[in-house]
Chains A and B, each alone.
Chain A
Amino acid sequence: MNKPLDYKDLAQVDRTHISLYTDPSVLQDELERIFYRSWVYVAHDSELPNPGDYKATFIGLVPVIVSRDMAGKVHVLVNRCMHRGATVCATEKGNVKSFMCPYHGWEYGLDGQLTAVAMPRGYNPGEIDKDTLNLISAVRVESYRGIIFASLLAEPDVSLTDKLSGVKEYIDLYMDFSPVGEILVGNSGVSKHLYKGNWKIQVEGSVEGYHAPVTHATAFDVMIRKMGFPGNYQDQPLHGIDGGHGNNVLEVYRMPDEAVHKRWGPEFIDLLTQAHGRERAMEVLRTRFNMVLFPNFAILEYQFRVIRPIEPELTEVRLYHTTLKGVPAKFNTRRVREHEFFYGPASFGGPDDYAVFDRMGAGYHAQMAPWVYLNRGYLSETTDDHGRRVGGHTQETQQRAPYYEYRRLMAQTGK
């Protein structure tokens, strides 16, 4: 029998072991201890605005349905007929009154309750107890500013409020880009990617400040030359922040007032000033960041990013483009064009990341070089007023951050 893996040795503070990115048994442990027992992102309110609306998605490898019942309550249901196991929902989005299994006509309500089975007289008394055959529901479903998280099999040992406490201010900044504080997610496009590498490579990569001038040299060139992006990237006074519970933030830029006016123009600034007051509006407009909410969710400039492991070395990433409620259409068109420039399969930025991820996946099979280093800036890391670890934006504080929570959750054993 193999000795159980000690994740404290494999995920050290300043380095990770390549087996974390390649070993199938590690992914199995991660699914059981992280994806199925802690908070994971499932959807945004705007994806299911009306009673009967649903979105079919995944928590880890488990197909789930996020549904809104007739009373407006959101449920997260395991998409698996309790009889013989077929999924009861085969489309990504829609509006229904119930979910029906196509095999034997078992029908489930929007809350997962088993409401009917076909030809019920064939069951003898004692052969079926309908009360025990409802779709499996996540034990917790909660949201913050429309962002819906679920915990599938167990009550997380951290409340959602605590989970988000270190990064809440950044979520608020993101939402307040809209004058009514609300966004729409995915209506304006979804970019779908697969890469041949482990899911944690994308978790690290979504807040990577070090690689940008190298991997994205061609995009930076255009951004500096044509879009007024500052050319002294390395010298910007920006930070990577460990927001606690595996969450983290990378400050991408922070503009002085003059640059805010140049970038956003008077009409948009006035709109936000009327809504939020001058000070708050400027704070929203000058700050640009990437953020990971561990384990499967990130918010980047114009997108909700959802990271889904499929195999140890196969990962799906979806970028759900976001638009702002309460603004003239032209401002959202600009969000569409700017997103398109850097992100998506034909863009100037994203495809280079996935090419690199593929190459990392290949390189991790060199077992004689077993360590991946995340120690840049470790010795100069400090703590801010909120007790969060902070480092320079090209250092690796924000890459180290997820592994504190990773070690904590992986030390637990699944039940």
Chain B
Amino acid sequence: MDRDAVEAFLIEEARLIDEKRWRDWQKLFSSDALYWIPSNRLDADPLQHVSFVYDDMELLNERLIRLESEFCFAQAVPSSTLHQISNIAIAPGEQDGEIAVRSNQVIYEFKNNSQRRLEPLNIFPAFCEHILRRADTDVWQMRYKKVGLLNCDAEITNLTFLL
């Protein structure tokens, strides 16, 4: 997978989230994947420390069911997001057929709702790590996605949209 292909993968992944095509985004993960958003410290051990998100694919599926339901009040109205991707660096993965990708992403989140009081545009700068694995000849999947928020230690009340 060359640099252009990696960049295209990240852009496509972000586009699926930003266009709320969550089930297509879900298909980018391998079935044994981990989707992790650390809290308080980016290097905190997730086995000993609470995370914002620490989803295996079963829990991610439940998360999507929740978001699709009409009873996810934290997403009434739903957040809109915009991912801006930069600083992409590529390294060989630990296992054969895998590559490790680091990127910086800035995720903008906005709820357009005049019925809620002051809902500012939120900005979440993040250090992202992807481990991509070749699933088929030309198909790559995410075996691991970590979104390390710059402000992971801050007062954050609502991260119920997808990052």
Contact = CB atoms under 8 A, between A and B. Distances in A.
Interface stretch (B9-17, B36-44, B96-104): B36-44
Given A190-B40, A329-B48, A351-B160, A358 B116 contact: yes
B50 A355 contact: no
A218 B50 contact: no
B158 A351 contact: yes
Interface in B105-163: 116-118, 153-160
A355 B50 CA distance: 22
A188 interface: yes
A329 B47 contact: yes
A336 B50 contact: yes
A47 interface: no
A336 B47 CA distance: 7
A358 B63 CA distance: 23
Given A194-B157, A218-B69, A358-B117, A344 B50 contact: yes
Given A218-B66, A351-B74, A340 B51 contact: yes
A174 B27 CA distance: 42
Interface in A358-415: 358-359, 361-362
Interface residues of B, number: 35
A352 B40 contact: no
Main secondary structure of the interface of B (DSSP, over half): loop
Contacts of A193: 155-157
Interface in A180-205: 188-196
Q: How big is chain A's contact interface, by range? A: 35 or more
A368 to B, nearest CB: 18
Nearest to B51: A340
Contacts of A361: 117
Nearest to B59: A341
B48 A346 contact: no
Contacts of B74: 351-352, 354-355
A222 B62 CA distance: 7
Contacts of A192: 153-156
Residue of A218, A226, A336, A348 with most partner-chain B CB within 10 A: A218
B49 interface: yes
B30 to A, nearest CB: 21
Interface of A: 188-196, 215, 217-219, 221-222, 226, 316, 321, 323, 329, 332-333, 336-337, 339-341, 344-346, 348, 351-352, 354-356, 358-359, 361-362
7 contacts: A191-B50, A192-B154, A323-B48, A336-B48, A345-B158, A352-B73, A358-B117
Interface of B: 37, 39-40, 44, 46-54, 59, 62-63, 65-66, 69, 71-74, 76, 116-118, 153-160
